[in-house]
A = this chain, B = another copy of it.
Amino acid sequence: MLEDRRLEVLRAIVEDFVLSNEPVGSKALAERHNLGVSPATVRNDMSALEEEGYITQPHTSAGRIPTDKGYRLFVDRLSGVKPLSRAERRAIQSFLEGAVDLDDVVRRSVRLLAQLTRQVAVVQYPSLSSSSVRHIEVVTLGPRRMLMVMITDTGRVEQRIIDSLTPVDEEIAGELRATLNCALAGQRLADAPEVVATLPDQARPELRPCLATMTGAVLESLVERPEERLAMAGTANLTRASVDFADSLRSILEALEEQVVLMKLIGSARETGTVTVRIGRETDVDALRTTAVVATGYGRGPFALGGMGVVGPMRMDYPWTMAAVRAVAKYVGELLGAD
């Protein structure tokens, strides 16, 4: 009961602060959210909430603002789901369905997400290791040079130039192509390393060195490269959140260019199957300590293809943002799962 009202007060503070970006005081609170109690009572609750570390005051005799911990509680226990409107869902769908290829899907998604949430959006390209091989192509480029192109069922194309120690011709290329396809087509990439390992031994002796370098290349492009590709959009939205500019904006932008860091942040949400939120220091990135990351995985079933999410100020409309991220992820997942 008492506990309940305190939480209600916290919710009210978060909601008001998200809207106004100004410390919220007891009086305004009591008025705007008909809590049925007087400002004085609210003050007591606020005092308690501050004691417990959910809110803080920027300076004495100012209103309160939520802390990381406060937002966390809000997200975990207080925020309902804010379902998207019919129109919004349709907008997402129609925006995405014009896409012509994988690149286009990713780029559209990221722009869509940025526009929708008015924050910085990040979308990971479908991860190689959770898709499977559809076709491998080997082309000769020169007497000792080949190009391997691997096409996955998500439409991603991985290429690799290979310098062979021994001369190669069209015939050998054809043979390599056949061997590789036979072994790998349909395999999930995560399983490929084992499959590929035994290949050279089974092949004709004169093919072996060549096949060995080739399988080496395949393996190499399977190792999740530290910087798997990702797309980003909406950095301009950072200026909207008037986080104490001078300082942070700069370092936030820098952090966002660190693909490795971002990758970890977005990628980690990939397996969970739900929308995850990291608030402030929970991001484990110092430059992002004033921001929050809302991310999720996309793609069919248990094997998420990749992650996507948004980075914004802690002061964000979590219920709505989470709903938006989830919705976009769902559509993108369907889109990529289907074809």
Contact = CB atoms under 8 A, between A and B. Distances in A.
A139 B134 contact: yes
Interface stretch (A15-23, A40-48, A249-257, A311-319): A249-257
Given A137-B137, A141-B134, A161 B157 contact: no
A147 B141 contact: no
Contact of A155 (B100, B159, B246, B251): B159
Given A134-B139, A257-B236, A161 B250 contact: no
A199 interface: no
B161 A339 contact: yes
Interface string A235-249: 110111000011001
Given A233-B257, A236-B253, A257-B234, A147 B159 contact: no
A219 interface: no
A135 interface: yes
Contact of A161 (B101, B147, B234, B254): B101
A172 interface: no
Contacts of A229: 103
Interface in A122-173: 134-135, 137, 139, 141, 147, 149, 151, 155, 157, 159-161
Interface in A243-276: 245-246, 249-251, 253-254, 257
Nearest to A248: B239
B257 A250 contact: no
A110 to B, nearest CB: 10
Contacts of A141: 134
A235 B249 contact: no
A160 B236 contact: no
* Range, interface on chain A: 20 to 34
A322 to B, nearest CB: 24
A157 B157 contact: yes
B135 A147 contact: yes
A171 to B, nearest CB: 15
Interface string A202-241: 0000000000000000000000000001000111101110
A239 B253 contact: yes
A134 B138 CA distance: 12
A95 to B, nearest CB: 15
25 contacts: A100-B161, A101-B159, A101-B160, A135-B139, A137-B149, A139-B151, A147-B151, A149-B151, A149-B157, A155-B161, A157-B157, A157-B159, A233-B257, A234-B257, A235-B235, A235-B253, A235-B257, A236-B251, A236-B253, A236-B257, A239-B246, A239-B250, A239-B253, A245-B246, A249-B249
Given A101-B160, A155-B159, A239-B246, 7 more contacts: A101-B161, A137-B137, A149-B151, A161-B339, A233-B257, A234-B257, A239-B253
Q: Nearest 8 A-B pairs (CB), nearest first?
A: A236-B253, A239-B250, A236-B254, A135-B139, A137-B137, A235-B253, A157-B159, A157-B157
